[in-house]
Amino acid sequence: MKFSWRVLVLWTLPALVIGFFFWQGAFSGTPDMSKNTATTRMTYGRFLEYLDADRVSNVDLYEGGRTAIVEAVDPELENRVQRVRVDLPSSSPELISKLKEKGVSFDAHPMRNDGAIWGLLGNLIFPILLITGLFFLFRRSSNMPGGPGQAMNFGKSKARFQMEAKTGVKFDDVAGIEEAKEELQEVVTFLKLPEKFTAVGARIPKGVLLVGPPGTGKTLLAKAIAGEAGVPFFSISGSEFVEMFVGVGASRVRDLFKKAKDNAPCIIFIDEIDAVGRQRGAGIGGGNDEREQTLNQLLTEMDGFEGNTGIIIIAATNRPDVLDAALLRPGRFDRQVTVDAPDVKGRLEVLKVHARNKKLDSGVSLEVIARRTPGFTGADLANLLNEAAILTARRRKEAITNLEIDNAVDRVVAGMEGTPLVDSKSKRLIAYHEIGHAIAGTLLKDHDPVQKVTLIPRGQAQGLTWFTPNEEQGLITRGQLKARITGALGGRAAEDVIFGSAEVTTGAGGDLQQVSGMARQMVTRFGMSDLGPISLESQQGEVFLGRDWMTRSEYSEAIASRVDAQVRVIVEECYQTARRFILENRIVMDRLVDLLIEKETIDGEEFRQIVAEYTSVPEKPQYMPSI
């Protein structure tokens, strides 16, 4: 049976309390009363009379001579000997002489010392119980985050330490970011074979900053480094340095680097370093002084007067723009490794990694999935295959098919599938809206091809039109931007042409926000308007990222008016183009709407075939990756 302190305390405390009252009441300062028993009392004067009359045969003195038990012959009881109690005066020195004179046998019984002991214990028992209770209270609270038991550990580092980090992740388990892997593989080689680099005068980099959007594999890379390096590994989050108490963060930084120096060479991984490494002096009236002092200590430890030989700091963030310039300089973070979303080849490699433990149907092609998921990060692709596996198990299939892949892509991008609409005027209006998007996108040469059109609600959308880029687009032309604006306005144009301006709905709200943003960027950022090749967009940071707390316009009100006019010109031109597509293709639109209401989903290939029967569809560049 497992020993339990709680059970011991629950049983011991009542026993101690009972014993405390027992000791206090029964034994506190009392003599030995084993012989001090008498049924009656006798006055001191009568006792002297009996003594003078030789009626006393034995006297026992107790309590230091204050009490006596007397054996005397009582004439009133037929001269029988009885034991009586006599209270003696405090000062009666002649009594002993008189007892000796009369030849009376007497004895003095000393007071027991147990009373002082029990009294002392009785006075100590309550403080002992109080201290014991507080001890167990603090011991229990020490296991709670921020409990009283951790009061002395505020300044200690919360970094997880592993002498040999067994993360279960190697570089072979990381795919799609080969350039980043190569950079970090050098760090691992530096730790294992430093003489290979020092022989030619190279020095080990002090810090590596992993920069990239969420889900691209920055933390996974850190786990792979830990699994490959074979050196002590410290891992901590940036938010774990800063507390509400001043000086705690700096103390934790010192403690972390002290432990790291004791175990050098080693690796320190700081996840989300922007939580502690933001620019100093940011915000209105200055920044958080505690966070800034923590950053100052981190800067000193990374490359200060003493240095940190043998320690490599690896940090990850998706906000490099907010980091302090002193943190990013060479000597602290010598390398900045960008971890972007993978291209089509990278996505294929990522899918191969995550498909190792998945049962895929023979008709499923990972290459096709990679081509139709541009912009997906490694985390998105892992979630995609996991959602497909969940759908397969829910439908009681033995392997993942293309149907589950399609549904998983839709779920990851747009959200959970809703209840299909019933056949009504609202459903027909939504069908015309989605077909308007698809018609404009299909007839525009520079627009991405239609993948499918559906009336099945997902998330907040009642219907969706999917467009899939044919290639990885790093640069976007003016024609492509205008084509995207026209395609986004196709839904509103269809509502206007088919049902009239009075029946236009709020369904195009999100489209109009997207259109306004793209058109304004064309004018103010990309120089794609009559204002000429100039950038009017302010490059200042946000209020709480530092510098000025008030945003200032970089151009006059006259230029602002011209910007608004150019935005309206671009949007109006694209809107009229979309209306023209709707008016010229009314017949095919009606056929497609009827088919969409009947089937609820039309794939892109079938859609283009039907449109090609009525009008010419421009050929769009097909991107076939070389695998």
Provide CB contacts within 8 A for 397, sequence distance 6+.
404
Q: Containing H/E element for 333?
A: none
Return d(Cα 589, Cα 92) in angstroms, integer: 131
C-alpha 235: how far from its chain's center? 14
Cis bond upstream, residue 89 (ω within 30): no
Q: What angle do CA 526, 529, 530 make, to 5 degrees?
A: 140
Q: Which of 376, 366, 462, 368 is nearest to 415 (CA)?
A: 462
**Could you tell me which residues are beta bridge partners of residue 337?**
210
Instruction: Decide: 387 and 412 in contact? Cβ < 8 Å.
Output: yes
Q: Which residues of 546-563 are buried (b: 16+ CB within 10 A; e: fewer)?
A: beeeeeeeeeeeeeeebb
What does each C-alpha distance from 62 to 32, 34, 68, 70, 112 come to in angstroms?
Answer: 9, 11, 6, 11, 10
Return d(Cα 451, Cα 192) in angstroms, integer: 50
Q: Which residues of 324-363 are buried (b: 16+ CB within 10 A; e: fewer)?
A: bebbeeeebbbbebebebbebbbbbbbbebbbeeeebeee
Instruction: Decide: 180 and 221 in contact? Cβ < 8 Å.
Output: yes
Q: Which residues of 191-215 are buried (b: 16+ CB within 10 A; e: fewer)?
A: beeeeeeeeeeeebbbbbbbbbeeb
- Signed CA dihedral, 181, 184, 186, 190: sign only: negative
Q: Treating both helix axes as pointing N-terminal to C-terminal, what angle do 586-599 and 478-499 enclose, rounded to 10 degrees?
A: 80
Q: Which of 206, 210, 202, 201 is nearest to 331 (CA)?
A: 206
Catalytically annotated residues: 434
Return d(Cα 32, Cα 45) in angstroms, integer: 26
C-alpha 146: how far from its chain's center? 16
